[in-house]
Amino acid sequence: MNATASPLWARLDVLVSLFREIETTRMRGVPLLHPGLRVEAVGFEPEPAGTGAVGILVTPWFMNLLRIPLDPAHDVLPALRPGATRRRTIGCEAFEFIGAHEEPFGPYEACSLFSPMLEFEDQAAAHATACAVLRLLREPPAPPSPEPSPLPARRSFLFGQEAR
């Protein structure tokens, strides 16, 4: 396990525990909860600068793309204040993130992907969707396509002659 993995796993444990508690307290009895889903942190990886991580949080009521600081005591993302928004680039795509803060986790940024989650058949389907989204976001950009060859003149095409 590398040096960034250990703090990340510790942060994810706190994040998942927090949202499991939210599920059983604040969200208790809310009809939009999907009974076949559970809280799960999917595919979190450190950002290139190594100060934060990006991944997806699946819950019975939403699926969000999250940016989290690895060290909540030294918020170096810098995180947005709760409710503020900022456009962030993840991979080759730009997303609108909103700042949030939950005790005991601290600040994080969220971008809603799905809410509510009632269209997902089960946890496996939600997990597979989260993995597919992350795979697409983490694909390297496609190389530029070569210059297209010139189109033949209309008369040459009509008479079966090659372009000159």
What is the rounded distance in angstroms from the CA atom of residue 161 to the CA atom of residue 140? 41
Higher-confidence residue of 84 and 159: namely: 84
Task: Find out whether 74 and 52 touch, Cβ atoms under 8 Å.
Answer: no
Residue 162 pLDDT: 58
Peptide bond into 144 cis (omega under 30): no
| Tokens coding 153 | 């003149």
Higher-confidence residue of 75 and 28: namely: 28
CATH top-level class for 5-141?
Answer: alpha beta
Question: pLDDT tens-digit profile of 1-42?
Answer: 444 557 899 999 999 999 999 999 999 999 999 999 999 999
Domain map (residue ranges) of the chain: 5-141
Instruction: Categorize the per-residue pLDDT at 71 as very low, low, confident or very high, splitting at 50, 70 and 90.
Output: confident
